[in-house]
Chain A
Amino acid sequence: QSALTQPPSASGSPGQSVTISCTGTSSDLGGYKYVSWFQQHPGKAPKLMIYDGTQRPSGVPDRFSGSKSGNTASLTVSGLQAEDEAVYYCSSYAGNNVFVLFGGGTKVTVL
C-alpha cells in the first residue's frame, strides 16, 4: 500500500500560519479516526503533536491544531515561531494487514 501523500515543503513568516495536508484513501486515513501528526527536528526522534486527528497531547502548544475531512487530514501551525521549523509527518491506521502508514513528510521553513 502506498504512503500517505504530503506536500514536500511549506513555509511562512514568523507569526503567520501554515497548513499541511495529508491525503490517503478510504482504506486508511478516511476510514479510521487514528490519524497522528509528528514533528521531527534534524537528528532527533519524532514527537507526537496531534492524535485522533484533532487531539493535542499534554505539553503541545495550542498553536498546533488538526482537522480531518474525508480522506484528507490537515495540520495547522498558527503564530509560526522559529522553533517550529522541522519536518512534519502524518500517520494513520490502515487496517490489520497494513497497520500503520506514514506520509512522506513536509519540511516547514520559517522565513
Chain B
Amino acid sequence: EVQLVESGGGLVQPGGSLRLSCAASGFTFSTYAMYWVRQAPGKGLEYVSAISSNGGTTYYADSVKGRLTISRDNSNNALYLQMGSLRAEDTAVYFCARGLKLATLDYWGQGTLVTVSS
C-alpha cells in the first residue's frame, strides 16, 4: 500500500525557516517524481515544487522560487522541502504527492500545517 506521511510543520515567525519531510513507503520511491502542493486555509490547491526521480531536476512555482528548496533522499525514501524567508502567505497545509506521470499526482499524504505568524 502506497503511504506518504508528512511531518515538520508548525508555527514559525515571518522570515523564519522550516524543513518539511515526507516519508514514503509501499512503492519504489526512486522511480517516481515527487511533488509538494499546498492549500491555504479555506482556499484551493496550489502547486509548489516538483523533483525528478533521481533528484537531478527541480521545478518551482514563481511564488516560492528562491525561498523554498525541494530535495530527496532515495536511499531513505524521503522527500524534503526546505523553507526559508517565510511569509504570512506561506501559511497552508503542505501535501507531498507522488507523480504517476508528468504533472499527474496519484497518491497524496495527509498534509502538514505550516503557520507563519508573529
> Which positions in A face B, CB cutoff 8 Å?
3, 32, 34, 36, 38, 40, 44-48, 51-52, 57, 89, 91-94, 96, 98-105
B45 & A89 in contact (Cβ 8 Å cutoff): yes
Residues of chain B at interface, number, CB under 8 A: 22
Q: How far is the CA of A91 from the CA of B59 in the complex (A)?
A: 16
Residues B108 and A101 in contact, CB atoms below 8 Å apart:
no
A89-B109 contact in complex given A34-B101, A99-B50, A100-B50, C-beta closer than 8 Å:
no
Name the B residues within 8 Å of A3 (CB-CB). Answer: 44
Select one of A46, A93, A100, A102 contacting B108, CB under 8 A.
A46
Interface SS majority for chain B? strand
Do B108 and A47 touch across chains, with their CB atoms under 8 A apart? Answer: yes
Measured CA separation A45–B102 after assembly (Å) = 20
Q: Closest 4 interchain pairs by CB?
A: A93-B103, A100-B47, A45-B108, A105-B44
B69-105 interface mask toward A, CB cutoff 8 Å, 1 = contact, 0 = none? Answer: 0000000000000000000000000010000111111
Cβ–Cβ contact B47 & A45, under 8 A:
no
List the B side residues contacting A34 at CB < 8 Å: 101-104
* B104 in complex: contacting residue of A46, A51, A98, A104, CB < 8 Å: A51
Q: Do the beta carbons of A92 and B110 come within 8 Å of each other?
A: no
| A45 vs B37: C-alpha distance when bound (angstroms) | 11
Beta-carbon contact of A46 and B95 below 8 Å: yes
| Chain B residues within 8 Å of A51, by CB | 100-101, 104, 106
Shortest beta-carbon distance, A64 to chain B, in Å?
15
Contact with A along B8-52 (1 / 0, CB 8 A): 000000000000000000000000000101000000111100100
